[in-house]
Chains A and B, each alone.
Chain A
Amino acid sequence: MINKERYQRQIILKEFGEAGQQKLRNARLLIVGAGGLGCPALQYLVSSGVGAIGIVDFDVVDLTNLHRQILYTVDDIGKPKAIVAEAKLKLLNSEIKITPYNLKLDNQNALSIISNYDLVIDGSDNFTTRYLVNDACVLLNKPLVYGAVLRFEGQVGVFNLADKNGIKANYRDLFPNPPDSDSILSCNEIGVLGVVPGVIGIMQATEAIKIITGIGEVLVNQIVTCNLLTNSSFKFNISINVNSTLLIPKNETEFLNFNYKFFCGTNNMDHEITYAAFDKLKSTSSFTIIDVREFNELPEVNEFKFLHIPLSDFENKILAIDIIGPIVFYCQTGKRSSIAVDIIKNKFSNCEVYSLRGGILGWKNYHNKIIIKNDRKEN
Chain B
Amino acid sequence: MEIKILAFGEIAEVIGNSEMKINDLKNTNELNVKLIELYPALASIKFAMAVNQKVVQSITMLNNADVVALLPPFSGG
Residues of A within 8 A of B (CB): 33, 35-38, 122-127, 130, 147-151, 153-155, 173-175, 177-180, 182-187, 190, 192, 197, 223, 225, 227, 230, 232, 234-239, 241, 243
Q: Are A236 and B76 in contact (CB under 8 A)?
A: no
Which residue of the partner chain A has the closest CB to B73? A175
Q: Which of B54, B71, B74 has the most CB of A within 10 A?
A: B74
A140 to B57, CA, bound (A): 26
Name B31-63 residues within 8 Å CB distance of A.
44-46, 48, 50, 53-55, 57
Assess whether B55 is in contact with A225, with CB atoms less than 8 Å apart: no
Q: State the CA gap A243–B58 with chains docked (Å).
A: 11
A35-B77, A174-B48, A185-B10 known; 18 other A-B pairs, CB under 8 Å? Answer: A37-B77, A123-B77, A125-B77, A148-B75, A149-B76, A150-B74, A150-B76, A155-B71, A174-B73, A175-B46, A179-B46, A182-B44, A183-B10, A186-B75, A197-B76, A236-B54, A237-B50, A239-B55
Question: Given the known A-B contacts A174-B48, A179-B45, are A127 and B57 also in contact in the complex, defined by CB atoms under 8 Å?
Answer: no
B45 touches A183 (CB 8 A): yes
What are 9 pairs between A and B in contact, CB < 8 Å? A122-B77, A127-B75, A154-B74, A178-B73, A179-B72, A225-B71, A234-B53, A236-B50, A237-B54
Q: What distance in Å separates the Cβ of A222 from its nearest Cβ neighbour in chain B? A: 9
Cα–Cα, bound, A28→B68 (Å): 39
CB within 8 Å of A: which residues of B? Answer: 6, 8-10, 18, 44-46, 48, 50, 53-55, 57, 69, 71-77
Query: Roughly how many angstroms separate A223 CA and B77 CA in the complex, as a whole number?
Result: 16
Contact partner of A236 (CB less than 8 A), chosen from B9, B48, B75, B77, is: B48
- Give the residues in chain B near A183, CB-CB below 8 Å: 10, 44-46
B70 to chain A, nearest CB (A): 10
CB B20 to nearest CB in A, in angstroms, measures: 15
Give bound CA distance, A185 to B11, whole Å. Answer: 12
Q: What distance in Å separates the Cβ of B32 from its nearest Cβ neighbour in chain A?
A: 16
Question: Whole-angstrom distance from the CB of A334 to the nearest CB of chain B?
Answer: 30
Report the minimal beta-carbon distance from B73 to chain A, rounded to whole angstroms: 5
How many A-B residue pairs have C-beta atoms within 8 angstroms? Tell me.
101
Contact B77 A149 (CB under 8 A): yes
Cβ-neighbour of B53 out of A127, A192, A235 (below 8 A): A235
* Contacting residue for A174 out of B10, B53, B55, CB 8 A: B55
A243 touches B72 (CB 8 A): no
Q: Could you tell me the dominant secondary structure of chain A's interface residues?
A: mixed
Whether A234 lies near B55 (C-beta < 8 A) is: no
Q: Which chain A residues border B71 with CB–CB below 8 Å?
A: 155, 174, 223, 225, 236
Residues of A contacting B18 with CB < 8 Å?
227, 230, 232
Determine if B6 and A148 form an interchain contact, defined as CB atoms under 8 angstroms apart.
no
| Cα A154 to Cα B72 with chains together (Å) | 11
* A236 and B44 form a contact (CB under 8 A): no
B46 touches A180 (CB 8 A): yes
- Known contacts A125-B76, A148-B77: A234-B6 contact under CB 8 Å: yes
Given contacts A130-B75, A147-B77, A227-B18, contact A234 B46 (CB under 8 A): no
Q: CB < 8 Å: which of B10, B53, B69, B76 contacts A148?
A: B76
Contact of A227 with B74 in the complex, beta carbons under 8 Å: no
Contact A187 B76 (CB under 8 A): yes
In the docked arrangement, what's the CA distance between A125 and B45, Å?
19
Distance of A15 Cα from B54 Cα, bound (Å)? 30
Which of B8, B54, B77 is A234 in contact with, Cβ under 8 Å?
A: B8
Q: Which residues of B contact A33 (CB under 8 A)?
A: 77
Contact partners of B54 in chain A: CB under 8 A: 236-237, 239
Q: Residues of B contacting A173 with CB < 8 Å?
A: 55
Q: In the bound complex, what is the Cα–Cα distance between A154 and B77 (angstroms)? A: 9
Instruction: Please give, as numbers and ranges, the residues of chain B lying within 8 Å of A154 by CB-CB distance.
Output: 74
Q: How far is the CA of A237 from the CA of B45 in the complex (A)?
A: 21
Verify B45–A236 contact, CB threshold 8 A.
no
Q: How far is the CB of A150 from chain B (nearest CB, A)?
A: 4
Q: Are the C-beta atoms of B44 and A225 separated by less than 8 Å?
A: no
